[in-house]
Copies of this chain bind each other. A is one copy, B any other.
Amino acid sequence: TILARLLGELEPGQEAASRVMPVHRDLDGKRVVITAGPTREALDPVRYLSNHSSGKMGYALAAACVERGASVTLVSGPVTLSTPPGVERIEVTSAVEMLTAVESCMPCDLFIGCAAVADYRAAAVSEHKLKKTGDAGGLTLELVRNPDIVATIAARADRPFTVGFAAETQSLETHAGSKLERKRLDLIVANDVSLEGVGFGGDDNAATLLWREREGTRHHALPRQPKTALANAIVDHIADRLR
Contact = CB atoms under 8 A, between A and B. Distances in A.
A243 interface: no
Interface string A195-216: 0000010000000000000000
Contacts of A45: 169, 193-194
Interface in A116-130: 116, 118-120, 123, 127-129
Given A51-B46, A80-B80, A132 B145 contact: yes
A140 B118 CA distance: 15
A43 B49 CA distance: 9
Main secondary structure of the interface of A (DSSP, over half): loop
B138 A144 contact: yes
Copies of this protein in the complex: 2
A80 B142 CA distance: 31
Given A80-B80, A193-B45, A141 B140 contact: yes
Interface in A26-60: 43, 45-53
A132 B116 CA distance: 14
Interface of A: 43, 45-53, 80, 116, 118-120, 123, 127-129, 131-132, 136-145, 167-170, 175, 193-194, 200
